[in-house]
Copies of this chain bind each other. A is one copy, B any other.
Amino acid sequence: MELLENKIINEGIYLGNDILKVDGFLNHRLDVELFSEMGKEWKRLFDGENVNKILTIEASGIGIACIAAQYFGCDVVFAKKSKSSNIGDDFYKASAYSFTHGNTNEIMVSKNYLTGTDRVLIIDDFLANGEALNALISICKQAGAEVVGCGIAIEKKYQGGGDALRSKGIRIESLAMISSMKDGIIEFAC
């Protein structure tokens, strides 16, 4: 998606150590007009898939998920992060290691809000190693919900998480796919 790629080139900041800072439009200041264009594009890509629920994870996924949900006419559920494992049996749970924060979060979704009849589009801001996405997919499986696919804003393709999921048959639609950030020069996959 050219609009997002241009944003990354013009406003993204490469911090070294493989970290791309996009907090000017994606995960601190939120460019809602950009989110709207992203939502339309995911709707175009997943049209006809009868998505009835968007699943995301706090915090940075929530904004893009809510805006996208308007185009699908569905609700959003966001997985909560908690370091406590003692929260009872009313939640589906899975573990996700965060490379950004260097810790493992247990993520949880109430059993009330994800069911075996749901056709779920998972939305998140970043896909790198695929830890968060794997945890969200695990939660859908526990609920018996169908994962229609995943809508990602920025995929770091060279980290392999996306392709590992694709090889398992999961449909991933990333709006910007970075193939390299060597020496801070951002290149996109075609």
CA distance A69 to B30 in the complex (A): 10
Residue A63, interface by CB 8 Å:
yes
Residue A29, interface by CB 8 Å:
yes
Is B62 a contact of A29 with CB atoms below 8 Å?
A: no
Is A66 a contact of B35 with CB atoms below 8 Å?
A: yes
Residue A49, interface by CB 8 Å:
no
Of residues 31 through 80 on chain A, the ones whose CB sits less than 8 Å from some CB of chain B are: 31-32, 35-36, 58-59, 62-63, 65-67, 69-70, 74-78, 80
Q: Which residues of B contact A28 (CB under 8 A)?
A: 77-78, 80, 109-110, 113
Residue A23, interface by CB 8 Å:
yes
Residue A184, interface by CB 8 Å:
no
Residue A24, interface by CB 8 Å:
yes
Residue A112, interface by CB 8 Å:
yes
Say how far A106's CB is from chain B's closest CB, in angstroms. Answer: 15
Say how far A11's CB is from chain B's closest CB, in angstroms. Answer: 11
Which B-chain residue is minimally distant from A23 (CB atoms)? B110
Is A113 a contact of B66 with CB atoms below 8 Å?
A: no
CA distance A36 to B74 in the complex (A): 12
The listed residue with most B CB atoms (<10 A of its CB), out of A62, A70, A109, A110, is: A62
Is A32 a contact of B76 with CB atoms below 8 Å?
A: yes
The 3 closest A-B pairs by CB, nearest first: A58-B59, A30-B76, A63-B66
Which chain A residues have a beta carbon within 8 Å of chain B's beta carbons? 23-24, 28-32, 35-36, 58-59, 62-63, 65-67, 69-70, 74-78, 80, 109-110, 112-113
A-B contact pairs, 11 of them (CB 8 A): A23-B113, A30-B65, A30-B76, A30-B77, A32-B70, A32-B74, A32-B76, A58-B58, A62-B62, A62-B63, A62-B66
